[in-house]
Amino acid sequence: MIPKTGVIPPNGYHFIERHGGAEKRIDGTSYENVAEQLLKYRVANGIPYGRPYEEVCAYVCSGWPHFCTDHAPAAPAPEATKPTFTIEVLQWVQLLWKRQAHIPQPLVSDTEANRRADICKNCPFQKDWADYGCGTCIDSVRRQSVVFRAGKEVNGTKKPTGCSILGQENHAAVWAAKGSLPDITPEQRAALPNQCWRKHQ
């Protein structure tokens, strides 16, 4: 069972994390956002990832079964207008976290991350997402990227930025396992250069 969309449990969207004899209330703006915040909390505190989204659903449905249903909600219609590049990258980072919250994956090795980063840093389609959008959005992308990769950095002073084809935050992407990365469309795959590490996944 999963919680019904738009139904807010008593005291708001939340989850009680219990670990090592302690309790921590995790709040969010939606059930999926609570799962994302739960995953970030576990990453930051060295707690096993578990299955955050499934755990949030089980927590809500065990406490308030009348708030839940056996039917998955319909997917929202796609936006008609293309967002600014920073917003596009922010949405990509949020989707990355959403996938991690559903099925957490470990980061790839340092060797693999640096191999990918070297490709991205020399790609003609790399575009600095920090040159666009508002300061709040830029700070949000940076913060979520750093937390996702657990503060890890690739070698060298030059860091990967954004992909103008995929709208992805490259510094987080190079550390992400294949199962964590948002899907790409056939059109995007065709537009990627042959040397791109994502083209051949």
Residue predicted with more confidence, 35 or 193: 193
Task: Annotate 52-78 with b (16+ C-beta within 10 A) or e (fewer).
Answer: bbebbbebbbeeeeebbeeeeeeeeee
CB 192, CB 119: distance < 8 Å: no
**Local confidence band at 45 (pLDDT 50, 70, 90 cut-offs):** confident
The model's pLDDT over 139-189, given as tens digits with 9 standing for 90+, comes to 888 888 988 998 899 999 888 999 999 999 999 999 999 999 999 999 999
pLDDT at 82 over 70: no
The pLDDT value given to residue 80: 47
Highest mean pLDDT among 42-46, 63-67, 188-192: 188-192
Q: Choose among 74, 94, 66: nearest CA to 172.
A: 94
The model's pLDDT over 87-104, given as tens digits with 9 standing for 90+, comes to 889 899 989 998 888 888
In angstroms, the CA 94 to CA 81 distance is 19
Q: Mean pLDDT throughout 107-122?
A: 95
Strands 14-19 and 22-27: antiparallel
Highest mean pLDDT among 31-45, 48-62, 105-119, 148-162: 105-119
Q: Which two tokens stand for residue 137?
A: 């959005």
In angstroms, the CA 176 to CA 149 distance is 8
Q: Strand pairing partners for 15?
A: 26
The pLDDT value given to residue 73: 55
In angstroms, the CA 40 to CA 96 distance is 12
In angstroms, the CA 82 to CA 105 distance is 30
The pLDDT value given to residue 6: 77
CB 1, CB 65: distance < 8 Å: yes
pTM to 2 decimal places: 0.67
**Local confidence band at 81 (pLDDT 50, 70, 90 cut-offs):** low
Average pLDDT, the chain: 87
The pLDDT value given to residue 74: 54
Q: Mean pLDDT throughout 120-134?
A: 86
In angstroms, the CA 123 to CA 71 distance is 43
Cα distances from 149 to residues 23, 40, 88, 143, 182, in angstroms, run 25, 11, 19, 10, 16
Burial grade of 94 (CB within 10 A; 0-12, 13-18, 19 or more): middle
